[in-house]
């Protein structure tokens, strides 16, 4: 179909993408410094200080949170798709140390001697990692240069008696041209080993190399097949239908479990005692106030949020949780096929109505006992990996009865904590504009949210990476009415198209899904950032407890929609029989 697709007036972002993909085609190592010029001139909204001498510690913090704490010891980063690929190239990653990041779920292995291997599940991992690593190196070297001629830098390099307690934060701010908040951001970015990392920054410049081991589209498919092979044994039944109908949900590993499983509500007193004793994030007084005021929804949200810390205090509790959830037909599958996209299966016929969050109690819940369907909830993948995972789930099931996506997004017209509901998605991977009938409207979410606003009839833009947009890029789309920036909706809709049509998804077209999709499609985003006006949260802090309300509201709307749809289907079957 002919149409005028929104286009930016400059190609700095496209040039940056072409630069690193062309360089990484090399069979050898590529120095990250080769990306720096294209990165700097892309004027990324998340790294506006790339061309200045002032360290952009907000951008550094964002990058450091998505890289492991061993980064000060890393010299080489190798990207590959599987253990077999790494081992064929001489990297025995199975014997290496597993390392993690605070802000990204990605399997990583460190050899302790300077080489970091990262498993990639789609091209989005490359679009994500390259700008993150480049930002990290640029800001590191800016700080290294400023510390070079300063007395503080000399003490960090040479004075063995110099300790973290002796660091004058005001002097550090002056040397690095930061304000007090900037110093706090830098220290938090360097994590618990911040002083040793600061010493390394003062002593050595950062000169990383990257290499992408020969990969292919079929390797991505093989990777997701391994993921599905870890799920299938828990999904396939002995009774008929052996492959149950699926309500597919992409959210996180806790929201649906908390609402449906009921462990946190059942163990509320123990969690409250933990809150009083440990008082994480000063939430004990909020918990007590909500209990005193009889605010059931707030008490539940606090219980859900504190549950993770409560379980971490005693690892033995995790087994207790899984046994408790299994009684209600819930199976959790961690790292299926060694792919870091966890999954959960909810057998609707075994759900225990008395354990449900009160917000989920829809009429005729008892009918679910006759359901043959399951909810398959997966921990939302990054970017194009979403396409591969939904495609494989569709191939492995007899019937998809609904696809529901819940995830973070940046908003160009709302506030952090708002919920956005889009019916148009511009996908920068396929260049398609997807038009679809979103299963949700504002009234489905608004009753469960107090602080934020629910905005429906929005238009979303699926970007290739967090760093791969600049103010000019965003302003063009903003003028076209695209106010939601996220990374998964477009790939999911490409997979939805292929679940309903006999050919691959098109490219650079308007794609009407509204009349061709025989099942529910629902997409909900909660705002984690407001990049058009200021880099408020994505770079500076996590949503923390503030984000619980919006995530809980979105998850409540999704589960209620699934319950209502399945009950309506069962009721119709009952009427046919009579």
What does the pLDDT look like over 150-179, one tens digit per residue? 999 999 999 999 999 999 999 999 999 999
pLDDT at 53: 84
Residue 8 has pLDDT above 60, yes or no: no
Within 149-267, where are the H helices?
151-158, 169-176, 180-190, 194-203, 217-235, 255-261, 263-266
**pLDDT category of residue 180 using cuts at 50, 70 and 90:** very high
Asked if 497 and 438 touch (Cβ cutoff 8 Å), the reply is no
Residue 9 has pLDDT above 70, yes or no: no
Residue 535 has pLDDT above 60, yes or no: no
Specify the range with the lowest mean pLDDT, choosing from 123-127, 400-404, 448-452.
Answer: 448-452
**pLDDT category of residue 5 using cuts at 50, 70 and 90:** low
Q: Which residues of 59-92 are buried (b: 16+ CB within 10 A; e: fewer)?
A: bbbbbbbbbbbbbbebeebbbbbbbebbeeeebe
Distances from the Cα of 68 to the Cα of 39, 104, 106, 264, angstroms: 22, 10, 10, 31
Residue 518 has pLDDT above 60, yes or no: yes
Q: What does the alpha-carbon distance between residue 41 and residue 470 come to, in Å, rounded to a whole number? A: 10
The CA-based dihedral angle spanning residues 568, 556, 493, 539, taken in that order and rounded to the nearest 10 degrees: 180
Q: Are strands 246-251 and 400-411 parallel, antiparallel or unpaired?
A: parallel
Give DSSP secondary structure letters for 139-178. Answer: HHHHHHHHHHTSHHHHHHHH-TT--GGG--HHHHHHHHT-
Average pLDDT over residues 135-140: 97
- The distance of Cα 185 from the centroid of its chain, to the nearest Å, equals 21
pLDDT (tens digit per residue) in 286-314? 888 888 888 888 889 889 989 988 988 88
Residue 108 CB-density burial (10 A; 0-12 exposed, 13-18 middle, 19+ buried): buried
**Three-class SS of residue 59?**
helix
Average pLDDT over residues 487-497: 97
**pLDDT category of residue 532 using cuts at 50, 70 and 90:** low
Partnered with residue 525 across adjacent β-strands are: 407, 420
pLDDT at 536: 43
Q: Highest mean pLDDT: which of 123-127, 216-220, 465-469, 528-532?
A: 123-127
**pLDDT category of residue 31 using cuts at 50, 70 and 90:** very high
Which region holds residue 190: left if phi is over 0, alpha if psi is between -120 and 50, else beta? alpha
Q: What is the arrangement of strands in the sheet containing 115-119, beginning at the earlier edge strand? A: 30-31, 209-212, 76-80, 115-119, 108-110, 97-99
The CA-based dihedral angle spanning residues 198, 199, 200, 202, taken in that order and rounded to the nearest 10 degrees: 90
Residue 10 has pLDDT above 80, yes or no: no
Higher per-residue confidence, 228 vs 575: 228
The two tokens of residue 454 are 């629910």
- The distance of Cα 112 from the centroid of its chain, to the nearest Å, equals 27
**pLDDT category of residue 545 using cuts at 50, 70 and 90:** low
Specify the range with the lowest mean pLDDT, choosing from 32-36, 91-95, 535-539.
Answer: 535-539
Cis peptide leading into residue 241 (ω within 30°): yes
Average pLDDT over residues 538-564: 79
Q: What does the alpha-carbon distance between residue 139 and residue 49 come to, in Å, rounded to a whole number? A: 9
CA angle 132-136-141, nearest 5°? 150
Residue 543 has pLDDT above 60, yes or no: no
pLDDT at 7: 61
Share of the chain above pLDDT 70, in %: 95
Residue 539 has pLDDT above 70, yes or no: no
The two tokens of residue 239 are 């009774």
pLDDT at 534: 43
Residue 3 has pLDDT above 80, yes or no: no
Instruction: Check the CA dihedral 449-453-459-463 and report its sign.
Output: negative
Whole-angstrom Cα Rg for the chain: 24
pLDDT at 124: 94
Residue 499 has pLDDT above 80, yes or no: yes
The tally of CA atoms less than 13 A away on the side-chain side of residue 409 is: 36
Residue 540 has pLDDT above 80, yes or no: no
**pLDDT category of residue 6 using cuts at 50, 70 and 90:** low
pLDDT (tens digit per residue) in 51-94? 988 999 999 999 999 999 999 999 999 999 888 899 999 999 99
Residue 2 has pLDDT above 50, yes or no: no
Q: What does the alpha-carbon distance between residue 360 and residue 563 come to, in Å, rounded to a whole number? A: 8
Average pLDDT over residues 140-148: 96
Across the chain, mean pLDDT equals 90
Place of tokens 């679809």: 436
* DSSP H/E element including 61: helix 57-65
Residue 469 has pLDDT above 90, yes or no: no
pLDDT (tens digit per residue) in 228-262? 999 999 999 888 888 999 999 999 988 999 999 99
């Amino acid at each position: 179909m002919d149409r005028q697709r929104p286009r930016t007036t400059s190609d700095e972002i496209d040039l940056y993408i072409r630069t690193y993909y062309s360089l990484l085609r090399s069979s050898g190592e590529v120095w990250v410094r080769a990306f720096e010029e294209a990165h700097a001139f892309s004027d990324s909204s998340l790294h506006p200080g790339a061309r200045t001498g002032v360290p952009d510690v907000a951008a550094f913090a964002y990058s450091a949170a998505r890289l492991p704490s061993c980064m000060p010891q890393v010299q080489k980063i190798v990207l590959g798709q599987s253990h077999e690929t790494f081992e064929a190239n001489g990297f025995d990653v199975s014997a290496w140390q597993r390392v993690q990041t605070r802000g990204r779920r990605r399997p990583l292995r460190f050899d302790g001697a300077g080489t970091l291997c990262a498993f990639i599940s789609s091209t989005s991992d490359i679009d994500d990692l390259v700008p993150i690593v480049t930002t990290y190196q640029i800001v590191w070297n800016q700080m290294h240069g400023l510390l070079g001629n300063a007395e503080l830098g000399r003490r960090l390099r040479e004075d063995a008696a110099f300790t973290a307690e002796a660091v004058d934060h005001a002097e550090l701010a002056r040397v690095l041209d930061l304000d007090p908040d900037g110093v706090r951001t830098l220290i938090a970015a360097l994590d618990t080993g911040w002083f040793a990392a600061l010493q390394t920054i003062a002593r050595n410049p950062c000169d990383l190399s990257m290499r992408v081991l020969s990969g292919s589209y079929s390797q991505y498919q093989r990777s997701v097949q391994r993921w599905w092979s870890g799920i299938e044994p828990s999904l396939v039944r002995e009774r008929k239908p052996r492959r149950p109908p699926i309500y597919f949900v992409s959210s996180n590993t806790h929201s649906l479990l908390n609402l449906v499983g009921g462990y946190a509500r059942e163990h509320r007193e123990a969690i409250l005692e933990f809150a009083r004793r440990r008082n994480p994030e000063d939430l004990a007084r909020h918990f007590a106030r909500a209990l005193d005021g009889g605010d059931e929804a707030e008490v539940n949200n606090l219980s859900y949020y504190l549950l993770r810390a409560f379980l971490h205090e005693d690892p033995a509790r995790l087994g207790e949780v899984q046994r408790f959830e299994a009684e209600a037909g819930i199976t959790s599958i961690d790292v299926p096929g060694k792919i870091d996209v966890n999954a959960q299966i909810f057998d609707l016929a075994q759900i225990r109505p008395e354990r449900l969050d009160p917000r989920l109690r829809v009429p005729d819940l008892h009918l679910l006992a006759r359901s043959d369907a399951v909810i398959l909830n997966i921990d939302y993948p990054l970017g194009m990996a979403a396409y591969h995972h939904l495609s494989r789930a569709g191939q492995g099931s007899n019937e998809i009865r609904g696809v529901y996506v819940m995830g973070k997004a940046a908003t160009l017209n709302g506030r952090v904590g708002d919920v956005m509901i889009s019916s148009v998605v511009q996908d920068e991977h396929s260049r398609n504009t997807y038009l679809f009938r979103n299963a949700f409207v504002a009234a489905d979410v608004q009753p469960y949210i107090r602080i934020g606003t629910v905005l429906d009839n929005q238009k979303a833009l699926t970007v290739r990476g967090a760093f791969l947009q600049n103010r000019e890029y965003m302003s063009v789309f903003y003028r076209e009415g695209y106010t939601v920036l996220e990374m998964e909706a477009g790939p999911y809709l490409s997979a939805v198209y292929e679940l309903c049509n006999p050919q691959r998804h098109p490219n650079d077209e308007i794609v009407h899904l509204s009349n061709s999709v025989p099942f529910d499609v629902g997409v909900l985003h909660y705002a984690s950032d407001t990049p058009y006006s200021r880099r408020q949260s994505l770079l500076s802090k996590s949503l923390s407890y503030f984000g619980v309300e919006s995530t809980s509201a979105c998850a409540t709307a999704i589960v209620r929609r699934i319950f209502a749809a399945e009950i309506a289907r069962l009721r119709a079957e009952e009427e046919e029989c009579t």
